[in-house]
Amino acid sequence: MKGYFWKLSTAELRKTLTLPVIILLSALFLLALAGTFLPLIFGAVGEEAVIRSLNFAEKINSAFGVIIPLLTFILCSGIVHIDLKSNWLRSVVARPVSRHVYIISKINSLLIIVVAMLLLMVTIPTIVFSLIVKVPVEFGFWQVLFVHVAGICQALMYIIICTWMSCWIPGFLNIIIFIVWMFSNSIITQLASAFFWDTQWIMIASDFYFPSGFSDSCTTVIAGGDFPFESILWGISALAGFAALTFWFISFIQIDKNRD
């Protein structure tokens, strides 16, 4: 079964990296480079400029907060539904491959792409940027490592959520719903803080409206607070919960049923 898993992961990589996806990733790569180096080009970095110091972990975390959702939008649109409509899922499970192996290999291939893109778009350009700027650079190794690990876990969370949604939502609606859910999180949080700050259950519910435990833990670590056990546990719990839902839903998909 291990051999099937890696063969299927390789096939999923090739199937995902179509020409339109490569074009979108290339455009995103250029935008990421521009976002990293334009402040330096326009003289916004220096002892008397707007940016007078650089916190490496904070810069990585800020870039991850933009790049990871965009990569999710590009790579995860209708990922299971497309396989169902094209009969790819049917041809896979016709072999001695379980549905769970199929879904894990798909998530694995997407995560490989995301990690590679994060390194190319964020980590490597930020390293180059920090080497050429003439401002103090704060590089905390454990902070940087934590941000990378937590960022990858948050990316895995997004991939699994979109995969789960695509198991029961047709077309590209999984991404539309995910975008609405993600961007409404800040609105819900602000409304709860402004009008229901004295209602405990509403404040607690707003904290759990969107699974952002891993990204919240990065903010705490960068700020120099205590180790964010609660945020990490929330992230792990949400990750495990959505993974379980994905495995459950993929087990009951009617492969032979024509979905519009």
More confident residue, 16 or 42: 16
**Residue 137 parent element (H or E):** strand 137-138
The mean of the pLDDT values for the chain is 89
The reported pLDDT for the residue numbered 259 is 46
pLDDT at residue 58 tops 90: yes
Write the pLDDT tens digit of every residue in 217-229. Answer: 999 999 988 899 9
Q: How far apart are CA 149 and CA 80, in angstroms?
A: 26
Write the burial class of residue 254 (CB in 10 Å: 0-12 exposed, 13-18 middle, 19+ buried): exposed
Contacts of 156 (CB under 8 A, 6+ apart): 107, 111, 239
Instruction: Give one DSSP letter per residue of 24-75, joined into a string.
Output: HHHHHHHHHHHHHHHHHHTT-BSTTSSB--EEHHHHHHHHHHHHHHHHHHHH
Do 250 and 83 touch, CB atoms closer than 8 A? no
The reported pLDDT for the residue numbered 258 is 46
Q: How far apart are CA 16 and CA 139, in angstroms?
A: 35
The reported pLDDT for the residue numbered 127 is 95
The reported pLDDT for the residue numbered 237 is 95
Q: How far apart are CA 213 and CA 236, in angstroms?
A: 8
Contacts of 25 (CB under 8 A, 6+ apart): 71, 74, 117
β-pair type (54-55, 137-138): parallel
Q: Across residues 4-31, what is the average pLDDT?
A: 93
Q: Is the dihedral of CA 157, 160, 163, 165 positive or negative?
A: negative
Q: In the chain, which residue ranges form alpha helices assigned H by DSSP?
A: 2-16, 19-41, 56-75, 79-85, 88-93, 99-118, 124-132, 141-166, 173-195, 200-207, 213-222, 229-251
Write the pLDDT tens digit of every residue in 118-147. Answer: 999 999 999 999 998 888 889 999 999 999
Write the pLDDT tens digit of every residue in 153-197. Answer: 999 999 999 999 999 998 899 999 999 999 998 888 888 888 877
The reported pLDDT for the residue numbered 20 is 94
Write the pLDDT tens digit of every residue in 187-232. Answer: 888 888 888 777 777 777 777 889 999 999 999 999 988 899 999 9
The reported pLDDT for the residue numbered 2 is 59
Contacts of 202-211 with CB under 8 Å at 24 or more apart are 208/234, 209/185, 210/181, 210/182, 210/185, 211/157, 211/161, 211/235, 211/238, 211/239, 211/242
Q: How confident is the model at residue 79 (pLDDT cuts 50, 70, 90)?
A: very high
